[in-house]
């Protein structure tokens, strides 16, 4: 008689075996009710195990099944185990990701959503006090004051907001109510979508589709076909290839999973899927982050039953329980939003590749700027490479001009040098011709490097070839990889200019400047603040589409997948910023960003122009982007990565300790470092414990060290073993981030 090995819900990771009562069809992945101490609890069956005869006591029988069918399919359970061991996290945390809260809680029929309502406008004194003492509460209040109807769903405030809300409620500043919601996620202001039909493909698209179809039609008995990397320049019609591949998959009676970096930032992609499959609207499920619990529950079950046959969602949708999965599409596969920055810290694209292998289905990773990880996989023959080198509408890629802001700075004599004369003239011309412009402000990275405004010199680590980070508190420069330290130079080491200093300005400032030089222009701004209001982004993009706006100013948010035929000018104000952060992917990110942003120009009948303002005009990221030369960039960047032992030639993980108590956080990491170096697996490179670039956030001090190894598993295992053997002080949290994408 097999017994059921059950993982009990809850943070304590309890796993117990239970006997299976006669007549109960219990399988791995089933949700069950079990007796625990004196009450009934819920859990998930991880495995069926042989009951041992010599236990000396009888196992307690489990009580009942919560759902007659296993909620986690065998393949997803396998993926879950892989994630737990690869990323070094608990299987419980992975099950949480696999089964959304809405699906795990038993009473999911509730059609209510917990909503936070502003009860009393906070006085400036209270706000100031909160900003110091409880910044999270202050942030919630400021969100509420700007929200429509002064209310926001609790779920939209993100993980861990409950405590802050509770405390705000105690101060009678907010109220938590349960709001009735409609269960139709579409009912909420989605505009009418006109159906469209497939476009005749051009030769390149045809060839790309053929590769996908070959994989789709491969007999299921054969070995799984390799993942396909679709490298298509901006505007080359990748989406059309996705759409036709999706259609072919449905025709085979199979289902389709579409992953996008973020639903709200890729409205046009979502809209095109809806439009193409409009006749079978109910077959498309879009997993927004703002679904209520009830909606999420409904969608999840619609997917599991095979009613929804196309699922579009961000990272976590990789766990959507689609039956008969035939095709996974990962759009903008290079995007770092695919990496989850909370436990379990999985990478959505990598899990998608794993899932495709387990389900023996086709997977396409698409991008105009593929990650070097994926690209290297094509060079090693693990992935197939398919290319779309031309724009679908026959237009050429936009002309990119690089403007040396060091000269501009001299001309403008000590000013902030936000807008060059060249860019200003170009904007004026567009206004005269009634064409539109996008101005892009790079805001990545708060941890600033030191750059000379006169000659563009950046202070670099002599050992690691990454920029040194400036620590204001103690006026030091520090390398976050090896620990090298230097004093802040009084003069630029290159040109002797004493003005070497931090630069930084925001979208608001840009808006001011533009309004001054182009008083007649209609200007709008998209940034994190503007995004907060529901539908604000969509409304703004619609207004831009309708040409009610001349100049759109924005940050990273406008870099992705937008298609506006009347945009003929894109200005990139400060191409450098992201270049000088202490992150070996900095160059890659800047290249991606410049290419993607430039790709927003000239997507209609009119030719596009891109002006890139930079203090380092000769940096490879800028130059290769300017020449639309992905291969050139990849070759040089891969050489650098290989030489210094960075991904894709090694796995890179970060171990972080944090505490409100600075010394204890530091001491803990030093202890861990000592133990890690005691008998490391061969090939493991262990960095020095260092303050994080963001040393103090949310009142916590953070220290980190970087680990690298060509082999992933031995590294994760070694760290887990050391962590298990080490008793951490109560007020210190230690986080292990495998395949880290953020080093701040």
Ligand X SMILES: Nc1ncnc2c1ncn2[C@@H]1O[C@H](COP(=O)(O)OP(=O)(O)OP(=O)(O)O)[C@@H](O)[C@H]1O
Q: Which stretch binds Zn ion (CB under 5 A): 11-19, 132-140, 220-228, 479-487?
A: 479-487
708 binds Zn ion (CB under 5 A): no
Contact call for residue 526 and Zn ion (CB under 5 A): no
- CA 590 – CA 442 distance, rounded (Å): 9
Which residues make up the interface to ligand X (CB under 6 A)? Answer: 199-202, 205, 232, 234-240, 368, 392-393, 561, 563, 599
The C-alpha atoms of residue 424 and residue 571 are separated, in whole angstroms, by 10
Among 115, 369, 454, 668, binds Zn ion (CB under 5 A): 454
Rounded CA-CA distance 477/453 in Å is 17
Q: How many Cβ atoms are within 10 Å of 249's Cβ, its own excluded?
A: 26
Residue 529 lies near Zn ion (rule: CB under 5 A): no
* From ligand X, Zn ion, none, interface partner of 687 (C-beta below 5 to 8 A by class): none
Minimum CB distance to Zn ion smaller for 469 or for 656: 469
Nearer to ligand X, 105 or 264 (CB): 264
- Residue 368 contact among ligand X, Zn ion, none, beta carbon within 5 to 8 Å by kind: ligand X
Q: How far is the CB of 514 from ligand X (least distance, A)?
A: 25
Q: In angstroms, give the least distance from the CB of 369 to Zn ion.
A: 27
454's contact among ligand X, Zn ion, none, with CB below 5 to 8 A by partner kind, is Zn ion
For 632, the enclosing helix (H) or strand (E) is: helix 630-644
Q: By C-beta, is 45 or 477 nearer to Zn ion?
A: 477
560 in Cβ contact with 533 (< 8 Å)? no
| Among the listed residues 701, 723, 423, 390, the one whose alpha carbon sits nearest the alpha carbon of residue 572 | 423
Q: How far is the CB of 493 from Zn ion (least distance, A)?
A: 7
**Of the two residues 179 and 494, which places its CB atom closer to Zn ion in the complex?**
494
Q: How far is CA 148 from the centre of its chain?
A: 27
CA distance 570 to 400: 9
Give phi and psi for 124, each to the nearest 5: -55, -35
Nearer to Zn ion, 19 or 482 (CB): 482
Q: What is the DSSP letter of 628?
A: T
Question: CB of 308 within 8 A of CB of 283?
Answer: yes
Let me know the angle formed at the C-alpha of 413 by 409 and 419, rounded to the nearest 5 degrees. 45
**Which does residue 482 bind out of ligand X, Zn ion, none, counting CB within 5 to 8 angstroms by kind?**
Zn ion
Binding partner selected for residue 239 from Zn ion, ligand X, none, CB under the kind-specific 5 to 8 Å limit: ligand X
Task: Determine if residue 622 is left, alpha or beta; phi over 0 gives left, psi from -120 to 50 gives alpha, anything else beta.
Answer: alpha
Please say which residue, 484 or 560, places its beta carbon nearer to Zn ion: 484
Q: Is 138 in the site for Zn ion (CB under 5 A)?
A: no
In angstroms, what is the minimal distance from the CB of 329 to ligand X? 11
For position 523 contacting Zn ion by CB under 5 A, the verdict is: no
Tokens of 527: 């940034």
Q: Tell me which of ligand X, Zn ion, none is bound by residue 599, counting a contact when its beta carbon lies within the kind-specific cut-off of 5 to 8 angstroms.
A: ligand X
| 3-class DSSP state of 550 | coil
Give whichever of 225 and 239 is closer to ligand X, judged by the CB atom: 239
Nearer to Zn ion among residue 445 and residue 602 (C-beta): 445
What is the closest distance, in whole angstroms, from the C-beta atom of residue 383 to ligand X in the complex? 19
Tell me whether residue 47 or residue 393 sits nearer to ligand X (CB atom).
Answer: 393
CA angle 234, 235, 239 (to 5 degrees): 105
**CA distances, 375 to each of 372, 507, 637 (Å):** 5, 34, 12
- The residue (of 497 and 529) whose beta carbon lies closer to Zn ion is 497
Out of 479, 654, 690, 719, the only residue in the binding site for Zn ion (CB under 5 A) is 479
With CB under 5 A as the contact rule, the residue among 126, 275, 385, 482 that binds Zn ion is: 482
Q: Tokens 């997977």 map to which residue?
A: 363
DSSP assignment of 75-110: HHHHHHHHHHHHHT--HHHHHHHHS-HHHHSS----
If contact means CB under 5 to 8 A according to the sort of partner, which of Zn ion, ligand X, none does residue 238 touch? ligand X
> What helix, strand, coil percent values describe the chain, rounded to 5?
35, 20, 40
225 binds, among ligand X, Zn ion, none (CB under 5 to 8 A by kind): none
User: Closest separation between CB of residue 575 and Zn ion, Å?
Assistant: 18
Alpha-carbon distance of 12 to 7, in angstroms, equals: 10
Q: Which residues are annotated as a binding site for Zn(2+)?
A: 452, 455, 461, 464, 479, 482, 492, 495
With CB cut-offs between 5 and 8 Å by kind, which of Zn ion, ligand X, none does residue 484 bind? Zn ion
Contacts of residue 322, Cβ cutoff 8 Å, sequence gap at least 6:
255, 256, 257, 303, 304, 306, 309, 311
State which residue, 81 or 387, has the beta carbon closest to ligand X. Answer: 387
Residue 14 contacts Zn ion per CB under 5 A = no
Report in angstroms how near the CB of residue 249 gets to ligand X at its nearest.
Answer: 18
Residue 509's binding partner among ligand X, Zn ion, none (Cβ under 5 to 8 angstroms by kind) is none
Q: How far is CA 308 from the centre of its chain?
A: 25
Q: CB under 5 to 8 A by kind: which of Zn ion, ligand X, none does 237 bind? A: ligand X
**x-or-dash string of contact with Zn ion, 483-522, rule CB under 5 A:** -x-------x-xx-x-------------------------
By DSSP bridging, strand 685-686 and strand 700-709 are antiparallel
Cite the annotated binding site by residue number.
452, 455, 461, 464, 479, 482, 492, 495
The CA–CA distances, whole Å, from 532 to 39, 159, 179, 316, 670 equal: 43, 16, 20, 22, 40
**Contact between 464 and Zn ion per CB under 5 A:** yes
Q: Which residues of 301-319 are buried (b: 16+ CB within 10 A; e: fewer)?
A: bbbbeeebbbbbbbbbbbb
Least CB distance from residue 367 to ligand X, whole Å? 7
737 and 663 in contact (C-beta within 8 Å)? no
Residues near Zn ion (CB under 5 A) are 452, 454-455, 457, 461, 463-464, 479, 481-482, 484, 492, 494-495, 497
């Amino acid at each position: 008689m097999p017994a059921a090995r059950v993982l009990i819900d809850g943070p304590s990771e309890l796993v117990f075996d239970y006997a299976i009562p006669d007549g109960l069809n219990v399988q791995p992945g089933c949700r069950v009710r079990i007796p625990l101490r004196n009450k009934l609890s819920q859990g998930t069956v991880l495995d069926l195990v042989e009951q041992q005869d010599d236990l000396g006591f009888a196992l307690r029988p489990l009580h009942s099944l919560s759902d007659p069918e296993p909620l986690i399919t065998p393949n997803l359970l396998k993926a879950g185990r892989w994630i737990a061991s690869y990323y070094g996290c608990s299987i419980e945390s992975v099950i949480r990701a696999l089964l959304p809260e809405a699906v795990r809680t038993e009473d999911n029929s509730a059609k209510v959503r917990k909503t936070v309502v502003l009860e009393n406008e906070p006085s400036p004194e209270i706000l100031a006090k909160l900003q110091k003492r409880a910044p999270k509460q202050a942030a919630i209040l400021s969100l509420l004051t700007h929200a429509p109807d002064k209310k926001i769903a609790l779920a939209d405030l993100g993980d861990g907001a409950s405590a802050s809300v509770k405390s705000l409620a105690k101060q009678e500043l907010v109220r938590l109510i349960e709001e009735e919601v409609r269960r139709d996620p579409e009912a909420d202001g989605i505009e009418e979508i006109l159906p469209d039909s497939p476009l005749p493909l051009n030769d390149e698209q045809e060839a790309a589709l053929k590769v996908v179809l070959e994989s789709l039609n491969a007999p299921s008995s054969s070995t799984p076909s390799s993942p396909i990397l679709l490298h298509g320049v901006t505007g080359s019609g990748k989406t059309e290839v996705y759409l036709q591949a999706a259609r072919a998959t449905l025709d085979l009676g199979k289902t389709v999973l579409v992953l996008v970096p973020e639903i709200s930032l890729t409205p046009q992609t979502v809209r095109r899927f809806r439009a193409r499959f409009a006749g079978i609207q109910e077959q498309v499920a879009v997993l927004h982050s703002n679904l209520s619990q009830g909606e999420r529950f409904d969608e999840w079950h619609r997917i599991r039953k095979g009613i929804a046959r196309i699922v579009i969602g961000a990272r976590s949708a990789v766990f959507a329980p689609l039956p008969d999965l035939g095709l996974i599409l990962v759009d903008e596969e290079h995007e770092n939003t695919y990496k989850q920055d909370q436990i379990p810290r999985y990478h959505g694209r990598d899990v998608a590749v794993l899932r495709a292998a387990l389900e023996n289905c086709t997977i396409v990773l698409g991008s105009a700027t593929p990650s070097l990880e994926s690209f290297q996989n094509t060079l090693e023959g693990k992935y197939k490479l398919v290319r779309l080198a031309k724009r679908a509408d026959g237009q050429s890629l936009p002309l990119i001009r690089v403007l040396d802001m060091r000269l501009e700075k001299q001309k403008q004599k000590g000013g902030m040098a936000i807008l060059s004369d060249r860019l200003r003239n170009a904007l004026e011309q567009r206004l005269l011709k009634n064409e539109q412009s996008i101005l892009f402000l790079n805001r990545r990275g708060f941890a600033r490097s030191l750059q000379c405004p006169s000659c563009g010199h950046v202070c670099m680590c002599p050992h690691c070839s990454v920029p040194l980070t400036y620590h204001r508190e103690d006026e030091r420069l520090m390398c976050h990889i090896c620990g090298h330290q230097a004093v802040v130079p009084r003069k630029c080491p290159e040109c002797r200019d004493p003005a070497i200093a931090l630069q930084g300005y925001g979208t608001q400032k840009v808006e001011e400047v533009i309004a001054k030089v182009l008083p007649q222009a209609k200007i709008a701004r998209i940034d994190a603040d503007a995004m907060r209001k529901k539908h604000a982004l969509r409304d703004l993009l619609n207004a831009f589409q309708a040409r009610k706006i001349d100049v759109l100013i924005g940050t990273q948010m406008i870099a992705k997948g937008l298609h506006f035929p009347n945009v003929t000018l894109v200005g990139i104000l400060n191409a450098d910023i992201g270049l000088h952060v202490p992150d070996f992917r900095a160059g890659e990110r800047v290249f991606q960003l410049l290419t993607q942003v430039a790709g927003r120009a000239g997507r209609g009948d009119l030719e596009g122009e891109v002006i890139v303002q930079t203090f380092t005009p000769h940096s490879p990221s800028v130059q290769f982007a300017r020449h639309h030369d992905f291969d050139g960039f990849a070759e040089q960047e891969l050489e650098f990565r290989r030489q210094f032992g960075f991904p894709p030639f090694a796995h890179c993980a970060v171990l972080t300790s944090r505490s409100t108590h600075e010394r204890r956080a530091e001491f803990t990491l030093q202890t861990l470092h000592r133990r890690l170096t005691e008998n490391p697996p061969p090939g493991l490179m262990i960095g020095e414990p260092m303050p994080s670039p963001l040393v103090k956030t949310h009142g916590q001090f953070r220290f980190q060290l970087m680990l690298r190894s060509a082999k992933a598993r031995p590294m994760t295992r070694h760290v887990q073993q050391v962590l298990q053997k080490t008793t951490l002080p109560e007020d210190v949290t230690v986080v292990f981030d495998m395949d880290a994408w953020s080093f701040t």
